[in-house]
Amino acid sequence: MRAAKPTTNEIYRTLRERICLLDLEPGTRLTEETIAREFGVSRTPIRRVLDRLEFEQLVDQDRGAGARVTILDSKELRDVWAVRLKMAELVSAFVKLPAPPAVLDELRAIRDALEEVRTSRDIRRLGQLYARFHAAVLEVVSNRTLRWMQDVLFHQTSREWLQFLPEMDLDAELDIMAKELEETIDALGDADAERLAKLRAEHMHLLLTRFNDHLRGHS
Cβ 157 vs Cβ 110: under 8 Å = no
Strands (E), the chain: 29-30, 59-62, 66-69
Residue type, 151: D
Say which range, 5-19, 55-69, 177-191, has the weakest mean pLDDT. Answer: 55-69
* pLDDT at site 6: 95
Cβ 180 vs Cβ 136: under 8 Å = no
Question: pLDDT per residue over 118-171, tens digit each?
Answer: 999 999 999 999 999 999 999 999 999 999 999 999 999 999 889 888 888 999
Question: pLDDT per residue over 76-100, tens digit each?
Answer: 888 898 899 999 988 999 999 999 9
Task: Kindly report whether the global pTM for this prediction surpasses the value 0.85.
Answer: yes
Cβ 69 vs Cβ 30: under 8 Å = yes
Distance of CA 158 to the CA centre of its chain: 5
Q: Where in the chain is the domain with CATH 1.10.10.10?
A: 8-69
Give the whole-angstrom CA distance, residue 153 versus residue 160.
12
What fold is seen in the domain 74-217?
Four Helix Bundle (Hemerythrin (Met), subunit A) (1.20.120)
Percent of the chain with pLDDT over 70: 96
Closest among 180, 177, 178, 142 to 162, alpha carbons compared: 177
pLDDT for residue 217 is more than 80 = no
Cα separations (Å) of 128 from 89, 143, 195?
Answer: 25, 25, 25
More reliable by pLDDT, 217 or 120 = 120
Q: Where in the chain is the domain with CATH 1.20.120.530?
A: 74-217
- State whether residue 97 is helix, strand or coil: coil
What fold is seen in the domain 8-69?
Arc Repressor Mutant, subunit A (1.10.10)
